[in-house]
Structure 1
Amino acid sequence: MEASRDATTRRPGTVRDAAGGILALTVATFLAVTTEMLPVGVLPAMGEKLGVSESIAGLLVTVYAFMVATLAVPLTLWTRRLPRKGLLLGTIAAYTASNVVVALASTFAVVAAGRALGGIAHALFFSLSIAYGSRLVHAAHTGRALALVTAGASAGFVLGVPLSTSLGTAVGWRVAFATLALACAAALLLVWLLLPSVEVEPAAVGADPERRERRGRLAMVSTANALVYLGQYTFYTYVAVVLLAAGLSASGVGPVLLVLGGLGLAGTWFAGVTLDRRPRASLLVALAAIVLGLAALGFTFPNLVGMLAASVLWAVGVGAVASSFQTAAIRTRGATPDVIGALVNATANVGIGGGAALGGAVLAGAGLGWVPFCGAALVLVGALVVLLARRAFPSMPG
């Protein structure tokens, strides 16, 4: 059976040709990441209001991520014959509902249920958006297109999480989630207006002697992706807790995250200008920056000035990671773009959820000072996979 096609489809072109669609995906990605990561900035306040410890409150990130990791591939396969645009709109509607539930919840259990709904939406959203971005342009422009879409994720860290954190600190985390729900509703209209429908190609059938090798390359990219996200979120989930312990005021957390997010945009820009030319070197430079930055954060803790200086290197490296792994995965051609998007999404969220859980265990056991060291070690293992898997991470595109 052939895969379905939307009634009106756009043929791949240049990034300029697809500007409207890329803008819509970027805005939606911005709000998706803000929805996913908002608890990070208001974790202490949520834990206090809901009557749970900070390590238990961190499970709100874990629950969300593991919903994505578990459901990304099955949901993508079950919905592969549905029109992509309508499905994407459905995920944004679910984000809206998730934020409403969290804003109105009176208990931790209801908050967790609302987050689980968002996790289901997230399982499909990033699987769809990664594939959608690659379908809007010719293969030669994949790296730049995905970097622009991923800029929405970086902007989520730059503006979404810090501003909503500041709002949550000033007037309460419930107001922050309610405001985010309104923004998601507005994005629903924007995507409906600007994003064109795309053609969904049928899955490959018949014998293909190169398919096993391509799948092997995709498996290596997925493994490295999971390891890097595991290390990153071992630290990032508890960044507000670490900064507060180092002496930063509660009102200062939002502005600091804002600056770090801006530095992440610099990393996203770096990926955008290098991924279509030297993707392997670009990714290795970014991973080296993350490892060195996290290690420096560990060595300087609890000196606030030293930690803020070390976080510059870490933040710039993080900004380049998402689009680098997305582009590497798409270029393996190890599956259809939708399934590749689902694998990238699932493995990233295995890392996010596992990192939140691992960081909480380190926090409760060895203590805050060891959290960045643990993150650095895991990212280093991911970097070694990239270094050794030369066919999965080639020096030049194609």
Structure 2
Amino acid sequence: MEKTTIKQPFPLWALVSLSTAYFMVGTSSLSVIALTWQISDGLRVPPADIAFLVTVFALTFAFAAPLTQVIFSRFARFNILCAGLAILALALILGAVSTSYEMLFASRGLMGLGAAAISPMCSAIGAGLAPPEQQGRAMGIVFAGLTFASVLGTPISAWLGTLIGWRPVLIVLAAVSLASLAAIWLLVKDRQAGAKISYGHIFEALTRLRSSFAILMTFLQMTSIFCTYALIAPYMSHKFGMAENLIAVVLLAYGVNGVLGNVFAGPLSDRFGPEKVIIFSLIGLGAGYLAIWEIDANLWLAFVAIAVWAIFGMMFHSPQQQRIANIDPERRSLLLALHAAALYLGISVGSWISNFVFVRWGYEVLPLVSLAVLFLCIAIFAASAYAAKNGTSHGGNRQ
């Protein structure tokens, strides 16, 4: 049985160090979006093909995350996390020396393998470091790394890309990954292994009503975001006439407001419960999609719409992780791995849909596609809430 470690006082710096690992996963996965034009010019590929570099990372992550839980479940979570950071750094270096699009594509797959060992372990360790009444705050701090990847990592990558080129940017990211590894080594004392996990446990988690619906929600929410975000640079240029060198400003605006959403989410979840915060975030996200689609070529209003989109989009994740972590505490690591897999599978599928829609119908309809996918997410949440209220379960699911 997986034990929950409670440390007093609140283990802020240990949680912050875990957040830096999340930061590196987020920055590494999204850096190619920030470097779209530089990579496109350097390797002589169409800008739309950069979306596939996001896809291969995300798809590899999605399949590797739950399998890592099975194959390495007898190892300490701390060791799995550190190994993942080392692999991530190696993959970034290989990407920096790539001489072709295919070689960069392969390095992104290796990067996904490393990230698959990082995110679930960060969440599982972080959830166990804080007492239950502060779990929302703890999960918010850990997940804040991904939001800071938007506010700092991605726009800084875009800015550095214009100054020094995309290859040196990847080297810098590799160095920061190793620095994150050192911080975790010094500050995180959790050396526990998780509960023994088998392939049967994966099947069980994916067929239980409550856990499967929760995982599907994560997938749909992230898919909806990346149906537009994967091609946000050319979308802003096409609709609002934004210059190429100003895309870092768009990413910065998205990231700053995403951080605000994450900051609000943790305390709100502890006070009102994760379910209420989740539905609030989904409705607000839909309003952001409608705004970015509806407004005319007014750049200031575009930034307002992006702010709404980012705040409510990022508000979803820490209460969702809190909810999933408490479905079955004995298999917390597995459920969080499936959550992370769904998140990155959503990035992969959303990026693919973004490219598919652009090729056939152009950039204009991307926010409407995001909104359609979001409606499915809200429907799944409503069905899940109804099932939980009426005690409906499958396969012995804990309600």
TM over 0.5: yes
Q: Does 1:257 align with 2:257?
A: no
Corresponding residue of 1:384: 379
Equivalent-residue separation in structure 2 for 1:334 and 1:188 (angstroms): 26
Instruction: Pick from 44, 50, 57 the counterpart of residue 43 of structure 2.
Output: 50
Distance in 1, Cα, partners of 2:284 & 2:20? 27
Equivalents in 1 of 2:374, 2:163: separation in Å? 35
User: Is contact 1:214-1:332 (8 Å) kept?
Assistant: no
What residue in structure 1 maps to residue 280 of structure 2?
285
Cα deviation, residue 301, structure 1: 5.6
Is 1:121 aligned with 2:121?
no
Q: Which amino acid aligns with 1:267?
A: G
Amino acid at match of 1:281: K
Give 1:140's match in structure 2, choosing from 133, 156, 161. Answer: 133
Match of 1:346 among 336, 341, 345: 341
CA deviations over 1:305-335 (Å, ceiling 9, x no partner) = 3322211110111221221221111121176
Equivalent pair of 1:234/1:371 in contact (CA under 8 Å): yes
Structure 2 counterpart of 1:329, from 320, 324, 341: 324
Tell me the CA shift for residue 179 of structure 1: 1.1
TM-score (norm 2): 0.90
SS of 1:97's equivalent? helix
Is 1:72 the equivalent of 2:65?
yes
Per-residue CA distance 1:75-97 (angstroms, 9 max, x = gap)? 11111110111111111111111
CA distance, structure 2, for counterparts of residue 301 and residue 164 of structure 1: 29
8 Å Cα contact 1:162/1:254 also seen in 2 = yes
Helix, strand or coil: the match of 1:390? helix
User: Would you say how many aligned residue pairs link Structure 1 and Structure 2?
Assistant: 383
Q: Deviations over 1:102-139 (max 9, x none)?
A: 11111001101111111001112112111111111223
Instruction: Write out per-residue CA displacement over residues 235-290 of structure 1, whole angstroms, 9 at most, x where no aligned residue.
Output: 11111121222211122111221122111111001111111232212111111111
Quickly say closer, same or farther: Cα 1:337–1:307, change in 2 above 3 A: same
Cα distance between partner residues in 2 of 1:393 and 1:130: 24
Contact 1:72–1:123 at 8 Å: present in 2 too?
yes
Aligned 1:258-273 pairs, distance under 5 A: 258-273=252-267
Q: Matched residue of 2:75: which SS?
A: coil
Match in the other structure for 1:356: 351
Q: Structure 2 counterpart of 1:175, which letter? A: P
Q: Residues 334 and 46 from structure 1, CA distance in 2 versus in 1: closer, same or farther, beyond 3 angstroms?
A: same
**5+ long unaligned stretches in structure 1:** 206-210
Tell me what 1:208 maps to. none
Q: Secondary structure at the match of 2:361?
A: coil
Q: Is the 8 A contact 2:206 2:212 kept in 1?
A: no
> Which has the larger helix fraction?
2
Where does residue 300 of structure 2 map in the other structure?
A: 305
Shift of residue 392, structure 1, vs aligned partner: 7.5
Distance 2:334 2:224 in 1: 24
The whole-number CA distance in structure 2 between the counterparts of 1:94 and 1:213 is 28
CA contact (8 A) 1:283 1:324 kept: yes
Other-structure match for 1:20: 13
Q: Which of 190, 194, 209 is 1:197 aligned to?
A: 190
Q: Distance in 1 between matches of 2:185 and 2:114?
A: 17
* Aligned residues of 2:73 and 2:194 also touching (Cα < 8 A): no
8 Å CA contact retained: 2:88, 2:114? yes
1:31 deviates by: 1.4
Asked if the contact 2:326–2:332 (Cα under 8 Å) also holds between the matched residues in 1, the reply is: no
Change (3 A) 1:250 1:337: same
State the superposition RMSD in angstroms: 2.3
Aligned counterpart, 2:393: none
Partner of 1:202: helix, strand, or coil? coil
Q: Which residue of 1 aligns with 2:154?
A: 161
**Residue of structure 2 equivalent to 1:176:** 169
